[in-house]
């Protein structure tokens, strides 16, 4: 995941996922997401729905819902779906 500074509506998130499919083949999906609104102080960064930039096989990649990014005290990043949903924790790559 790469996050860059940008304006509302601009693509600020790039995300690549990859892994095995049930038949043993591998998939790779690349996504992007826009900044939904300007964050206030101590508020999460709200992103709009993600779109698929590319995928192999493309049928394994689906656009995502809007998400929120929150920097946690231990310098990890939580990406969550607003409301009742799932969240993921990311650590910084060196």
Nearest-CA neighbor of 1 among 64, 94, 93? 93
Q: What is the mean pLDDT of the chain?
A: 92
In tens, the pLDDT along 21-33 reads 988 899 999 999 9
Q: Which residues contact 40 (CB under 8 A, 6 or more apart)?
A: none
d(Cα 65, Cα 94) in Å, to the nearest integer?
Answer: 28
Model confidence over 58-91: pLDDT tens digits?
999 999 999 999 999 999 999 998 777 689 899 9
Q: Are strands 2-3 and 11-20 parallel, antiparallel or unpaired?
A: antiparallel
């Amino acid at each position: 995941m790469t996050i860059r500074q940008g304006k509302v509506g601009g693509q600020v998130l790039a995300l690549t996922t990859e892994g095995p499919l049930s038949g043993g083949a591998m998939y790779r999906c690349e996504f992007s997401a826009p900044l939904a609104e300007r964050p206030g102080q101590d508020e999460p960064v709200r992103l709009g729905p993600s779109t698929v930039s590319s995928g192999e096989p493309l049928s394994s990649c689906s656009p995502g819902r809007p998400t929120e990014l929150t920097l946690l005290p231990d310098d990890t990043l939580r990406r969550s779906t607003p409301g009742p949903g799932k969240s993921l924790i990311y650590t910084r790559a060196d």
